[in-house]
Structure 1
Amino acid sequence: MQYSEGKRCAVALSHAALRVTEIALLGTEHVLIQQWIDHRLVKKWGISGRAEFQGLIPESLFLYTVRGAPYSLQPKPRKLDSGVVREYWACGSLEQAMREVYNKCGLHSASSHSGRKSLCTNAVVNGVPIETVARILGHASTETTIDYVVIQAMRIEKMCSLN
């Protein structure tokens, strides 16, 4: 897969409850994933030559595109349940790259939000209060968080058989 190092890194970060836009804006000073750092050093992307941060510029964004530039955000409209259209900033190219990874793995319905939903579902199933999960995900309302809980029938059957 072309540019597999960056895509693997983005998918891993999505399972830490980060939104794709948050992943795109992540600074080098916030994350150290050795394989990706080694790749950046070889490509000479955002390097400082200093010993700290393994030679990377700490203020640089962490993920880079295949062309060696940080991902950019574009305005995107979203229609809310109320019918109001709100514009927000999103990283469509990183979102598309992550969807490509999932598709190649046979997970055709997965998206850049799958990691957040998985973390949320597992936390709730393991007894973490929904209010706590909402705070972790940055949701203002637990109603939004509840929509992230996806429990498949097989898991419910397994949970019921344990009781």
Structure 2
Amino acid sequence: MYVSRKLKRVLQQYYPSIQYRSPTDLLFQTQIRTRFSANTMCQLFLQIYKDCGLKGASSHSGRRTFITKLANTGINVRLLAELAGHQHISTTQRYIDVNDTQLAQAVELI
């Protein structure tokens, strides 16, 4: 798993605040100390978005933003697919948002 240096620092700050159990225990767990299901994680993110006042955010908003921002820096779509866990780049391509500014910048490259 690849984690940015910034996220790694945040996680290192977070880790001491949780009750130490064992290095193999889950970093994020439910109240009964089990893994979150995919549905529970979606619901959790929807609640976080709501609490932050973000309207229109969904469980895929973070993934879409992550992939789009990397694509905008010129990262190859095959690398993006690997980071996103997609088997096919066509799936990844559907996550990449395109806007008028990007289109205008693209034609200026010629």
Matched, 1:131 2:78: yes
Counterpart of 1:58? 23
Shift of 1:96: 0.6
Amino acid at match of 1:160: A
Task: Summarize the Cα distance change of 1:127–1:147 in structure 2 as closer, same or farther, 3 Å threshold.
Answer: same
State, as a whole percentage, how many aligned pairs show the same letter: 25
Counterpart of 1:111? 58
Instruction: Return the alpha-carbon distance in structure 2 between the equivalents of residues 134 and 38 of structure 1.
Output: 33
Pick the structure with more helix per residue: 2
Q: Is the 8 A contact 2:70 2:80 kept in 1?
A: yes
Task: Summarize the Cα distance change of 1:72–1:132 in structure 2 as closer, same or farther, 3 Å threshold.
Answer: closer
Shift of 1:161: 6.0
Amino acid at match of 2:16: D
Gaps of 5+ in 2: none
Q: Which has the higher contact order (CA 8 A, sep 6+)?
A: 1
Pick the structure with more strand per residue: 1
Counterpart of 2:101? 157
Counterpart of 2:14? 36
Gaps of 5+ in 1: 1-15, 17-29, 42-46, 49-56, 74-90
Q: Is the 8 A contact 1:121 1:148 kept in 2?
A: yes
Shift of 1:150: 1.6
Instruction: Return the alpha-carbon distance in structure 2 between the equivalents of residues 68 and 146 of structure 1.
Output: 38
Amino acid at match of 2:29: Y
1:59-98 maps to which residues of 2 (within 5 A)? 59-65=24-30, 67=31, 69-73=33-37, 91-98=38-45
Please tell me the root mean square deviation across aligned C-alpha atoms, in Å.
2.8
Q: Is the 8 A contact 1:71 1:93 kept in 2?
A: no
Task: Summarize the Cα distance change of 1:117–1:136 in structure 2 as closer, same or farther, 3 Å threshold.
Answer: same
Counterpart of 1:85? none
TM-score normalised by structure 1 residue count = 0.51
TM-score normalised by structure 2 residue count = 0.71
